[in-house]
Chain A
Amino acid sequence: GQQLNQSPQSMFIQEGEDVSMNCTSSSIFNTWLWYKQDPGEGPVLLIALYKAGELTSNGRLTAQFGITRKDSFLNISASIPSDVGIYFCAGRRDSGYALNFGKGTSLLVTP
């Protein structure tokens, strides 16, 4: 079952604002991933993190792999309307390839 706690559950912000969301786990993961899902679509990979403490950027997105290996955060700077969607964190252990997903953060951006 899902072991990841993702927060906040939803966010309603104005265009241009920065956004921060995080994910925590009771278990250690060796890979953290962040996906975005639009309505009627499958999740799209945004950022992958492979080392504890790693900080990685992809355009306006920045994510970090927590030092304890039990958490990760995603920041979006200068949000735009197309950032609307549901953001999922996912963790993976060494022993298998299954992704364990959080319940998602729903982001709404008003112009």
Chain B
Amino acid sequence: ETGVTQSPTHLIKTRGQQVTLRCSSQSGHNTVSWYQQALGQGPQFIFQYYREEENGRGNFPPRFSGLQFPNYSSELNVNALELDDSALYLCASSRSGRAEDEQFFGPGTRLTVL
């Protein structure tokens, strides 16, 4: 196990609703990245948080937003849910925001949008 935890494990929402996913980083890690993994695909980068600030963003619309807290845990918020948002959402933590510090993934939250 990597020490990265995510909650909830599974979630079912309806189109148009809002959702908040949570992640606790591994001890000693101050950087959290979020990825979306659609069925049968590899993970796609959403954004990264370093010391409570967004430190890079992938090709996702503004309705995907995030937060990082002083204890380095993080939230991913998605507004106005669409059917295509159904996916496994992965959180990864790393020791710092430097490129050479590798990312360790949590088990993910499976979101289903009906």
A complexed with B: yes
Residues on the A chain within 8 Å of B100, using CB: 31, 50
Count residues of chain B with CB under 8 A from any CB of chain A: 30
Q: Are A98 and B45 in contact (CB under 8 A)?
A: yes
Q: Is the interface of A mostly helix, strand, loop or mixed?
A: loop
Main DSSP-derived SS at the B contact region: loop
A87 to chain B, nearest CB (A): 10
A94 to B99, CA, bound (A): 7
Is there a chain A Cβ closer than 8 Å to B105's Cβ? yes
Residue in A42, A48, A103 whose CB lies within 8 Å of B42: A103
Interface positions of B (Cβ within 8 A of A): 2, 4, 31, 33, 35, 40-45, 48, 55-56, 58-59, 90, 92, 94, 97-100, 102-108
Hey, which bits of chain A sit against chain B, CB under 8 A?
A: 1-2, 4, 6, 30-31, 33, 35, 40-45, 48, 50, 88, 90, 92, 94, 96-104
